[in-house]
Amino acid sequence: MSADAAFKPLAGIRVVELTHMIFGPSCGLFLASFGAEVIKVEPPGGDKTRQLTGMGASFFPTFNRGKKSVTIDMTTRDGRCAFDRLLATADVLLENFRDASLSGMGIAPEQLAERFPKLVTVACKGFLTGPYQHRAALDEVVQMMTGLAYMTGPPGRPLRVGSSINDIMGGLFGAYAVIGALQEREQTGLGRHLRVGLFENSLLLVAQHMVQFGLLDVEPDPMPNRAFSWPVYDIFSTVDGMHIFVAAVSESQWQALCSILGLTDLLADPRLQTRMDQIAARDWTVPRVAQAVSGMAFDRLTAVLEREGIPFSAVARPAEMYDDPQAQASGGLSFSRLPGNRKLRFPALPVEVNQQRIGRELNVPELGQHTEQIMDELGFDRHSIVKPGEAEQ
């Protein structure tokens, strides 16, 4: 039995998703990966994320796998009625609309709680309740606001992290909260209204730096200029032009690295007999390490580092991950079918269940692919809910 067939703890749970871009869709993806039926409701023209190009071209297929697509024109009376009837069959509603838009659509949290008391609602927002809660936000905005960009770039050059980290991690927290709310509903019979904030997610990511300041009353430098806590934690160049990150964070690793690189004189040096001594001497020991690494070939060096248990890595690019043996192992890269029957490999979730990966073979739906199926189930004529030009005046 495959892992997907065996591990579906959310089988039987219906999620209605009314989201776009990455934050909300990633939450739906995680729930679908655990077996939930996720119905993505799109306007007749489709989620605009489908049409993005360049760096945005990957957003829709990456975060909308494993879902059903239903098109509903929410500007029509029949469309809103169909959506309402769909919600009556749902366990979870996932949305990322502005708060002010929800009341007009009849799906504000208090409205839904009155009509569907068992429904768990998840609001994917820029901010939780507070003075900023009505602001628009993006991943990069909150990285700037919370100091994450400040800590990532060199001094004076704040840089966003090279991934939509808050959107994806925020989606993960949303899914995590949904599972908790569904578990609670088993005892109470009632749903919950959940709100997940990008700003607060980014705040959690910089918590270690905030707490460092709170404990020591010393503001940490950006990571490229940070005060090191380990003797070796650096990027070096090998003789064949490869860049390699090497770390020695324990006494045994320090000793092993010095032996590998032929720097045994450092082991006997009276100035380097404790880890604090080794950290304090980085200004002259790390150049020695760099010189030694520059005389070794990458393959030979990595073989010895792996054998001796020293942390290391080539400085890789995302495109290279398709060929990485660890990324490929145990179904870590699996094929999903895209609209038009093209197949593409995606990373599975970073979880094994009984040594098998989950979240594999989740296909990307065609626009409206499941409208007829779902509307027939609800007793609606699909044409009455998607036909343009029927909006009320």
Helices (H) and strands (E) in the chain, counts: 19, 13
pLDDT (mean) for 155-159: 96
Q: Inform me whether the pLDDT recorded for 342 exceeds 90.
A: yes
pLDDT at residue 3, as a whole number: 46
Give the burial class of 101: count Cβ atoms within 10 A of its Cβ; 0-12 exposed, 13-18 middle, 19 or more buried: exposed
Give CA separation, 11 vs 35, 89, 191, 357, in Å: 5, 14, 18, 17
Residue-averaged pLDDT of the chain? 93
Measured from the Cβ of residue 11, the count of other Cβ atoms closer than 10 Å reads 10
Give CA separation, 380 vs 84, 90, 93, 107, 386, in Å: 12, 16, 20, 20, 11
Q: What is the CATH number of domain 228-317?
A: 3.30.1540.10
Marked catalytic residue, from 167, 234, 323, 381: 167
pLDDT (mean) for 31-60: 96
Q: What is the CATH number of domain 3-206+326-386?
A: 3.40.50.10540
For 262-313, write each residue's pLDDT tens digit.
999 999 999 999 999 999 999 999 999 999 999 999 999 999 999 999 999 9
Catalytic status, residue 283 = no
Q: pLDDT band for position 393 (50/70/90)?
A: very low
Whether 3-206+326-386 shares its CATH topology with 228-317 is answered no
State the residue for tokens 């609602």.
121
Domain residues of the chain, as ranges?
A: 3-206+326-386, 228-317
Q: Which of 224-228, 273-277, 308-312, 335-339 has the lowest mean pLDDT?
A: 224-228
Q: Is 325 helix (H, G, I), strand (E, B) or coil?
A: helix
196 neighbors 124 (Cβ within 8 angstroms) = yes
pLDDT (mean) for 37-41: 98
Q: Inform me whether the pLDDT recorded for 317 exceeds 60.
A: yes
Give the burial class of 339: count Cβ atoms within 10 A of its Cβ; 0-12 exposed, 13-18 middle, 19 or more buried: middle
Q: Inform me whether the pLDDT recorded for 27 exceeds 50.
A: yes
359 neighbors 351 (Cβ within 8 angstroms) = yes
pLDDT at residue 380, as a whole number: 82
For 82-123, write each residue's pLDDT tens digit.
999 999 999 999 999 888 778 878 888 999 999 999 999 999
pLDDT (mean) for 6-17: 94
Q: Which of 34-48, 130-144, 268-282, 378-392 has the lowest mean pLDDT?
A: 378-392
pLDDT (mean) for 2-28: 89
pLDDT at residue 165, as a whole number: 97
Task: Name the pTM for this structure.
Answer: 0.92
Give the burial class of 149: count Cβ atoms within 10 A of its Cβ; 0-12 exposed, 13-18 middle, 19 or more buried: buried
Give CA separation, 325 vs 322, 329, 356, in Å: 8, 6, 16
pLDDT at residue 388, as a whole number: 46
| Range among 1-10, 297-306, 346-355 rated most confident | 297-306
How far apart (Å, rounded) are the C-alpha atoms in residues 160 and 143? 6
Q: Inform me whether the pLDDT recorded for 1 exceeds 70.
A: no
